[in-house]
Amino acid sequence: MSGPHISRTIADLRAQVKEWRRQGLSVAMVPTMGALHDGHLSLMREALSRADRCIVSIFVNPTQFAPTEDLDKYPRQLERDLERLAEVGVQLAFTPSPDEVYPEGFATKVVVGGPSAGLETDFRPHFFEGVATVVSKLFLQATPDCAVFGQKDYQQLCVVRRMCRDLDIPVEIIGAPTVRDAHGLAMSSRNAYLDAGQLAIARQMNVILYSAAAAIAEGADPDKETASASRALLDAGFSNVDYVAVRESGSLGPWQPETEGRLLAAAWLGSTRLIDNVAIAARS
């Protein structure tokens, strides 16, 4: 089982992509921060089904972490990650250093409005600026035809789509379904922080959200259902709930019953913050 080519510099990445283009090959990309799990691998398989070559970036992006967040303890396991890329057949891993991505004097930021308003931004105001900046750089560096993002980070997916649309970045953004464990828990690198007792609590999150989404789709009052879901999360053992909210599925603006919606949530288990979301069917 041969592993992927490893590019640590932008120049090497561009040289490899240039050669693929010379051969007439299409290119897909999966941006990640490493600590790869089966959810990530599903994104890579989707990418490989859509293009001749797949690039996976592994870069823990410092600009999307606040000083109080878990940048230093975020799991890093590059050798294991490269083994997982080989399992799937990914052809190139882009593993730059922070100085390669943000050289001395770097002073540019990408700020996306619209779907970035509220939800995560209310609690992590720096986050989407960091995401938009690094993803726009990755797209300019790798020039992929398409890129695959997971729907677990649903607001992020909407922000990246809006950024590409507004800036005329010619990359098709594909949202892949959330991969869940046998109990329905959305796979996340931060799940590694949870002990057995916390995992049992975390696995109730999707059950609570699916129940609320079904009730809303059938006509229940969204405000009452989101408040009830927040209480249910706390009763299940979550230590704090940042939000449970209903939004229109495309713009993340206010939801109207005749349109498809999304129920999104963020909650804490001790020092670990988990997010999840489920679809709300349009009312007929």
Q: Hey, how many other C-beta atoms are within 10 angstroms of the C-beta on 136?
A: 20
Report d(CA 103, CA 106) in Å as an integer. Answer: 6
Q: What is the pTM of this model?
A: 0.96
Q: Hey, how many other C-beta atoms are within 10 angstroms of the C-beta on 263?
A: 27
Checking phi first, is residue 201 left (phi over 0); if not, alpha (psi -120 to 50) or beta? alpha
Q: Is 155 annotated as a binding residue?
A: no
Tokens of 251: 């713009």
Report d(CA 200, CA 205) in Å as an integer. Answer: 10
List where CATH 3.30.1300.10 sits in the chain: 189-279
Report domain 5-176's class: alpha beta
List where CATH 3.40.50.620 sits in the chain: 5-176
What distance, in Å, lies between the first and last C-alpha atoms of the chain?
51
Q: Is 126 annotated as a binding residue?
A: no
CATH of 189-279, one of 3.30.1300.10, 3.90.650.10, 3.30.9.10, 3.30.465.10: 3.30.1300.10
40 is catalytic: yes
Q: What is the pLDDT tens value at each position of the chain, 284 positions in all?
A: 589 999 999 999 999 999 999 999 999 999 999 999 999 999 999 999 999 999 999 999 999 998 878 788 888 999 999 999 999 999 999 999 999 999 999 999 999 999 999 999 999 999 999 999 999 999 999 999 999 999 999 999 999 999 999 999 999 999 999 999 999 999 998 898 999 999 999 999 999 999 999 999 999 999 999 999 999 999 999 999 999 999 999 999 999 999 999 999 999 999 999 999 999 999 87
Report d(CA 268, CA 211) in Å as an integer. Answer: 20
Q: Is 152 annotated as a binding residue?
A: yes
Q: Is 179 annotated as a binding residue?
A: yes
